[in-house]
Amino acid sequence: MINQTAITNKLATENIGKLIWTYSLPAITGTVVMSLYNVVDRIFIGQGVGPLAISGLALTFPFMIFLMAFGMLIGAGSAARISITLGQNNIEKAEKILANAFTLTLIISGTVVVISYIFMRDALLLFGGTSRTIHYAEDFMQIIIPGGIFTALSYGFNNIMRASGYPTKAMYTMIICAVINAILAPLFIFGFHWGIQGAAWATNISYLIGTIWVLSHFLQKSSNLRFHRKNFRLEKEVVKSIISIGMSPFCMQMATCCVVLLVNSTLIRYGGDLAIGAFGIINSVNTLIVMIIIGLNQGTQPIIGYNYGAKNFNRMFRTLKYAVIIGSCITTIGFIAGTFFSDETAALFTRDKELQAIASKALRISVALFPIIGSQIVITNFFQSIGKAKISIFLSLTRQFLFLIPCLILFPPIFGVSGAWYAMPVSDGLATVVAFITIYIFIRKFRAKPAAIL
């Protein structure tokens, strides 16, 4: 059994830079691998099924985000709460949060799956589906939606595994899922000729195996947090504590869902089906970069949360500083890749020259302010990690909702379809400015009166 005291001693005393990489590298590896298999899926679909299949798959983004949002509501919220609780050296409460998270995930994800399946076609039409693309989206979603329960369990409890002191094992979860998907997707698409449905089956099977992996961890005697039957009954205060923190990433995901819906409707109006396909391509590529930052955040969250709970504020702020620098470097690399290798990137997904040209231009525009957006994502995660849900929710909504939606409404009538692409870097820049102002005010208040942040 891993010694909990040894884990917490590391969080409290080990060199910050080394600790960040110890926790973040496995998380980054996992999120990158997971993102890569989504990119590979789209490459297989684009090359093996056709450009309209990519457009059809892009219609499913809001649905996928919607399903993932509920997994993040419980998974991210319980992981952050467990980190804070471990910082307070309260193992019994941490195990109660663990079991309540499982019950909540089953109830909420099960309800969402049923509702999503009933309203699937109506939603896809709302998301911009046309007679040429909606059947691809339906073929994909009628298989993916029932698997949403496994997606939520795998994602949520992998976060908890990492937060409770097992960053490397959490990385293995995502690698296992990604490798299984990477093997099954081409087999199902090209070998069995299942088309876009093959990609959906490969995804569901990989998440099912990931779920078995993470849940078995919390049943083992060697785990420092375990499931106990007495803890599965929901308790109001525990549920409230989970949801209060998880509401930030949940709101961010739901805002993203609304934004993608608006983007799709705008692209259909000003650019047609291939413009939606181009958005599917740039969304896959940009999400890959952002998911590296998410991996960084997953690694720093236990460090920040623990030291906040232990009132070791100097280490908490030093962790934030390191994370901002690393995050900015990562998104700068994404800017360079998206700017100078946009043509080659678009060609990976499709052989259709018209779609390649649209996607290449869109990618160059969308990454224009990527060098600064990494810091915004890190700062938002900082407030989530210390349980400041309202601030985190506000910052989450600025980028995707407060700024991007008005830009999507204002720019396309002036610039045409390019206006949809311009809206992305403009909202990135404005959201980053707000994040820096917020953290500046927070730090000033803390220095004046440290007890005020507790």
Q: What is the DSSP string of 61-103?
A: HHHHHHHHHHHHHHHHHHHHHHHHHHHTT-HHHHHHHHHHHHH
**Which residues fall within 8 angstroms of residue 168, CB to CB, at 6 or more apart?**
26
- Compute the C-alpha angle 218/220/224, nearest 5°: 65
Give residue 433's pLDDT band: very low, low, confident or very high (50, 70, 90): very high
Q: What is the pLDDT of residue 36?
A: 76
Greater pLDDT, 75 or 41: 75
Phi and psi (nearest 5°) for 272? 85, -170
Give residue 8's pLDDT band: very low, low, confident or very high (50, 70, 90): low
Greater pLDDT, 103 or 170: 103
Greater pLDDT, 339 or 86: 339
Give residue 274's pLDDT band: very low, low, confident or very high (50, 70, 90): very high
pLDDT higher than threshold 70 for residue 304: yes
pLDDT higher than threshold 60 for residue 231: yes
| Integer Cα distance of 287 and 294 in angstroms | 10
Give residue 450's pLDDT band: very low, low, confident or very high (50, 70, 90): low
Q: What is the pLDDT of residue 37?
A: 66
Q: CB of 374 within 8 A of CB of 328?
A: yes
Q: Which two tokens stand for residue 42?
A: 């789209």
Task: Supply the range of the domain harboring residue 377.
Answer: 4-453
Q: How far is CA 9 from CA 53, 258, 307, in A?
A: 51, 43, 11
- Residue bearing tokens 């299942």: 194
Q: What is the pLDDT of residue 1?
A: 44
| Integer Cα distance of 299 and 47 in angstroms | 35
Q: What is the pLDDT of residue 3?
A: 53
Average pLDDT, the chain: 88
Would you put residue 214 in left (φ > 0), alpha (ψ -120 to 50) or beta? alpha
Q: What is the pLDDT of residue 48?
A: 77
Q: What's the structural domain count of the chain?
A: 1
Q: Which two tokens stand for residue 285?
A: 């590529």
Give residue 6's pLDDT band: very low, low, confident or very high (50, 70, 90): low
Three-state DSSP at 16 gives: helix
Residue 203's nearest CA partner among 156, 277, 246, 146 is 146
The DSSP element (H or E) to which 433 belongs, if any, is helix 417-448
